[in-house]
C-alpha cells in the first residue's frame, strides 16, 4: 500500500470511528474507503486546475471536523505555531474569538487590548463579510485564513449588531498583542482582580502572586472580573479557582464514555478561602472562565453578578498531526459544574442581574463594590 493510500485509510477509518452508534461491517467500511478513493482520483485527474495532494488531504480533514461542531477544526502549520506562541503570552492578529451558530459567524469576545477591543467590537456581533467577501457558508478555519491573510496588513469586517439597525464596517490593523491576563488594584479596601483569559501557562502563578500581596493587605472583599474572558487552558483555570475554594469538586470532565468521567477536586493551594467575593460575568465570559464562575457559584463561595455567560461547555483537545507540522482541535468532552450542570448553550446565570447599559460607566463593577462595602459594614 502506498503512503498516500495509508493516509487515505487513516482519514476515513477515523471518520468511521466518529460514528459510535452505527456499527458498520467491514464490507461497508471498505465500500466507503473505495468511494473516497474514487472521489480523490477524479479530483486529481479531472478538476479544472491542478490541486496538490496536500491541499486535498487538508480539505478532507477540515471538512470532517467542520461537520462535527463549531469548535472542532483543522489547525495548519502556521496557525499551530501561532497557537503555541499564544500559550507563552504572545499573540498576533486582530484579537477575536469566533464561533459558528447555525451558519452565522459570531464573536465570542474580543481580547482585551487588541485591535478588535479598541474598535469597540462586542460579544455576539455577527460577521457578514471579511475584506468585502461574504463569509456565509465558510468554515471557521476558512474565515480565520481570510482574517490572517498575510498579503493584507489591515482587515475590514462588516458587522451586524443586534441593537444597531444597519450593518457597519470596521477596519482593523493586525498587530502583536501582549497578553497581560492578570491585573489588579485595591480601591476602598476592596481588591479588584481582572482575569482576561487563561491562555498563558503562567496565569495561575501571576494570580497566586497577586493574591499573596492582597492577603497581606487584609482587604474586606474581592471583585473577580471574568467579563469577556474567552477561557483557555483548563489547568490554569482550575489553579485559579482552587485559590478561592477550600474543599470539594471544581469541575467534572465527561467524555463520550461516561464511566471515564474525570473529577477535579480542590488541593491544598487555597489562599483566600473566606474573603467575601463578587464575580463579574457577561455574554463574553466563556469556556474555562465559565467553569471558574460555576465552581464559585455552586460552592456558594462568591456572588455572581452581571449577565448570562456565553455557554461554551465543551472541552477541546489538541492532537498533533505529523509532529511539528499541523494539528486538529477536537471536542472530546463536556464540562460539568460541581453540581453536575452542563453549561453548553445555557451558560452561567448570575445571582444578581446587572447589565452594562453603556461604556460611560462600569455599572456592574460599581454595584459589586457597593455590595462588598455594605457587607463589610453589616459584619462590623
Q: Which residues are catalytic?
A: 287, 298, 312
In this structure, are strands 326-336 and 314-321 parallel, antiparallel, or unpaired?
antiparallel
What 3-state DSSP class applies to 107? strand
Count other Cβ atoms within 10 Å, centred on residue 131: 16
Residue from 212, 352, 195 nearest 288 by CA: 195
Whether the Cβ atoms of residue 131 and residue 146 lie closer than 8 Å to each other: yes
Helix (H, G, I), strand (E, B) or coil at 275: coil
Long-range CB contacts for residues 125-129, cutoff 8 Å, separation at least 24: 125/159, 125/160, 125/161, 126/159, 126/160, 126/161, 127/98, 127/157, 127/158, 127/159, 128/158, 128/159, 128/160, 128/167, 129/156, 129/157, 129/158
List the helix and strand counts (H, then E) for the chain.
10, 19
**Residue 377: its H or E element:** helix 363-379
Please tell me the distance from the alpha carbon of residue 73 to that of residue 220, in angstroms, as a whole number: 45
Task: Quote the cell numbers at residue 268.
Answer: 491544598
Please give the span between the terminal C-alpha atoms of the chain, in angstroms, as a whole number: 79
Query: In which residue are the cell numbers 464490507 written?
Result: 27
Left if phi > 0, otherwise alpha if psi is -120 to 50, otherwise beta: which for 173? beta
Amino acid at each position: 500500500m502506498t503512503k498516500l493510500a495509508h493516509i487515505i485509510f487513516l482519514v476515513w477509518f477515523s471518520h468511521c470511528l466518529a460514528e459510535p452508534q452505527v456499527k458498520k461491517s467491514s464490507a461497508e467500511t471498505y465500500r466507503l474507503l473505495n468511494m473516497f478513493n474514487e472521489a480523490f482520483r477524479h479530483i486529481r485527474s479531472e478538476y479544472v486546475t491542478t490541486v496538490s495532494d496536500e491541499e486535498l488531504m487538508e480539505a478532507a480533514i477540515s471538512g470532517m471536523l467542520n461537520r462535527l461542531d463549531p469548535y472542532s477544526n483543522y489547525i495548519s502549520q502556521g496557525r499551530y505555531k501561532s497557537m503555541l506562541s499564544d500559550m507563552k503570552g504572545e499573540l498576533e492578529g486582530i484579537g477575536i474569538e469566533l464561533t459558528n451558530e447555525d451558519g452565522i459567524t459570531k464573536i465570542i469576545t474580543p481580547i482585551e487590548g487588541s485591535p478588535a477591543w479598541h474598535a469597540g467590537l462586542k460579544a455576539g456581533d455577527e460577521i457578514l463579510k471579511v475584506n468585502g467577501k461574504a463569509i456565509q457558508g465558510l468554515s471557521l478555519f476558512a474565515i480565520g485564513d481570510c482574517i490572517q491573510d498575510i498579503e493584507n496588513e489591515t482587515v475590514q469586517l462588516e458587522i451586524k449588531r443586534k441593537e444597531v439597525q444597519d450593518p457597519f464596517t470596521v477596519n482593523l490593523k493586525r498587530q502583536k498583542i501582549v497578553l497581560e491576563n492578570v491585573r489588579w488594584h485595591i480601591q476602598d479596601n476592596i481588591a479588584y482582580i481582572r482575569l482576561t483569559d487563561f491562555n498563558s501557562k503562567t496565569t495561575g502563578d501571576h494570580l497566586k502572586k497577586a493574591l499573596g500581596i492582597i492577603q497581606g493587605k487584609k482587604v474586606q472583599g474581592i471583585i473577580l472580573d471574568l467579563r469577556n474572558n474567552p477561557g483557555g487552558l483548563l489547568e490554569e483555570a482550575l489553579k485559579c479557582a482552587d485559590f478561592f475554594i477550600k474543599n470539594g469538586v471544581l469541575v467534572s470532565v465527561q467524555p463520550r464514555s461516561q464511566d471515564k468521567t474525570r473529577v477535579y477536586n480542590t488541593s491544598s493551594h487555597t489562599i483566600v478561602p473566606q474573603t467575601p467575593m463578587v464575580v463579574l460575568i457577561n455574554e463574553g465570559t466563556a469556556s474555562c472562565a465559565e467553569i471558574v464562575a460555576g465552581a464559585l457559584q455552586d460552592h456558594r463561595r462568591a456572588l455572581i453578578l452581571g449577565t448570562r455567560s456565553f455557554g461554551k461547555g465543551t472541552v477541546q483537545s489538541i492532537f498533533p498531526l505529523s509532529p511539528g507540522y499541523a494539528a486538529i482541535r477536537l471536542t472530546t468532552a463536556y464540562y460539568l459544574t460541581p453540581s453536575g450542570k452542563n453549561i453548553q448553550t445555557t451558560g452561567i446565570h448570575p445571582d444578581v442581574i446587572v447589565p452594562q447599559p453603556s461604556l460611560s460607566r462600569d455599572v456592574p463593577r460599581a454595584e459589586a463594590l457597593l455590595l462588598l462595602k455594605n457587607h463589610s459594614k453589616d459584619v462590623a
